[in-house]
Copies of this chain bind each other. A is one copy, B any other.
Amino acid sequence: MQLTETHRPTLDRALEAIRSREYWSPHPEHPKAYGETGAADGLAAYRALLGNRFELDQPGTDGWTGPEVSPYGPELGIEYPHPDLDVLLPAMRAGMADWRDAGAERRALVCLEILSRISARTHEFAHAVMHTSGQAFMMAFQAGGPHAQDRGLEAVAYAYQEQTRTPRSADWSKPQGKRDPLELRKSFTAAPRGIALLIGCNTFPTWNGYPGLFASLATGNAVLVKPHPRAVLPLAMTVRIAREVLVETGFDANLVALCAERPGEGIAKTLALRPEIKIIDYTGSTAFGDWLEQHARQAQVYTEKAGVNTVVIDSTDDYRGMLSNLAFSLSLYSGQMCTTPQNLLIPRDGIATDTGPKSYDEVVADLAASVSALLGDDGRANALLGALVNPDVKSRLEAASGLGEVALPSREVTHPEFPDAVVRTPVIVKLDGAKPDDEASFMSECFGPVSFAVAVDSAGDALELLRRTVRDKGAMTVGAYTTSAEIERAVEEVCLEESAQLSLNLTGGVYVNQTAAFSDFHGSGGNPAANAALCDAAFVSNRFRVVEVRRQA
């Protein structure tokens, strides 16, 4: 396979993109870009998987487990191999020396081949992501397809760059005055840490999974993929493609393997403490993320946990744009993104806008109206909201109405194709930043379509609350609307000091909850919501070590 000719230009372009941070992607976002029969072929391929065993030919398979049930209702009926770890883990180590010796460039090119085969099957992946995460089709297509592939490629580019900063060899000659110089011949090898464990999440199996998977693989590690039990398929498909490419390029298939678990098995906890596991990537609850950081001491642990995302609303010169931008952010995927705003901090005396001053009540009512208008049509609502991913989200949504005055009640939406899907519009609840009871509500993550319109005394009060929220609870995103240069500067300062990613005055087609690979960092790694950012040098540079061998020249 001519990997260099095919993929080296893409790698170079990715390296350029992460340096310039300009827009770039090799993965088309439009479903029609995948060929005339792409959509039909993808759907057929997805359907062919349903109700069957997902064979992977892994060593040590001691049973079969599954099957997932789509948040849209249908049972997927797929069974996945369950591993005997004492057989699988040693088998995964067998091919590591060859993979290491192949070097950083070859590994990057093999990763790019894997990604390009995933890209070619984006339609099939879209259905798999939709029916495991509950995302609407178009979001599953884009976020689960090209955007996830972008994040994988970004990780490969960073990994390649970090591993090639030290040359493979160097001659070292130290002058000794009149005597002969001291001379050494040195070699430097990027050596992997061991087996990496990817613990996938329910909501974004590929988007949140690919960075860690490809960062670890590109740095020479083997990768064991432990998907969320409700979202196995997209990662199982990924593992199958990776294994195929590895074999075709002359490597051991077992460098990438799947670890599906039996219901209630909790295998992640067992795996996390195995001495073979040297790297862990995790997206999920703060409780388990903290547990991993504390107990998986033999491993490098990268976690994305819960946070409380805030939008400070001080003033705007585009009130209408602000409302529609916020309405979209609150609605997309029923607020089930780690980046969805939760707390909207609004001065109780109201805000200045281009259409005159607006009271707190007016802002909240106008936002509620904006959401209602956006989601008034059921077809559009279904296309934006997707389904609630699990019953816990539904329970939280229902409980939220009891926390305060409901400014916008949630509405049930019927899905014409999937009548069992639980589709709900977001609820907006009014809370008071000065009331301790209310603070207890808005200061913890309420994952799902729930937002709090929090009345604050002033912009200064909002900034103080923002700082406390980021510091104590973490945040994946912060948004702010202000026409005051002084307040803009102050909110920037809070974000710089508390390490939070800030979006300012977004009123158009970019949303606070979306980031673009190669340009935007996802999370900062500097507040409690996550200990790593996607993707930077720190995300890859500790997944390998440089081992030096020096000889007298």
Contact = CB atoms under 8 A, between A and B. Distances in A.
Interface of A: 18-23, 97, 100, 162, 165-167, 170-176, 182, 184, 186, 188-189, 191, 193, 293-294, 297, 492-493, 495-497, 499-510, 516, 519-521, 524-526, 533, 536-538, 541-542, 545-552
Nearest to A325: B552
Contacts of A551: 503-505
A503 B550 contact: yes
A496 B533 contact: no
Contacts of A524: 545-547
A508 to B, nearest CB: 6
Instruction: Specify the main secondary structure of chain A where it touches its partner.
Output: mixed
Contact of A499 (B188, B505, B516, B545): B545
A526 B191 contact: yes
Contact of A176 (B97, B507, B509): B509
Among A294, A505, A520, A550, the most chain B Cβ lie within 10 Å of the Cβ of: A550
Given A166-B536, A182-B510, A526-B547, 13 more contacts: A21-B170, A23-B175, A165-B537, A172-B516, A193-B499, A294-B297, A495-B547, A504-B551, A504-B552, A505-B551, A505-B552, A506-B552, A521-B548
Among A166, A188, A533, the most chain B Cβ lie within 10 Å of the Cβ of: A166
Contacts of A526: 191, 193, 545, 547
The 3 closest A-B CB pairs, nearest first, are A526-B545, A21-B170, A538-B541
Contacts of A505: 551-552
Nearest to A545: B526
A152 to B, nearest CB: 19
A211 to B, nearest CB: 16
Contact of A97 (B19, B189, B493, B504): B493
A151 to B, nearest CB: 16
A536 B547 contact: no
A222 to B, nearest CB: 13
Nearest to A100: B496
Contact of A165 (B19, B23, B97, B172): B19
A543 to B, nearest CB: 9
Given A171-B22, A172-B23, A184 B546 contact: no
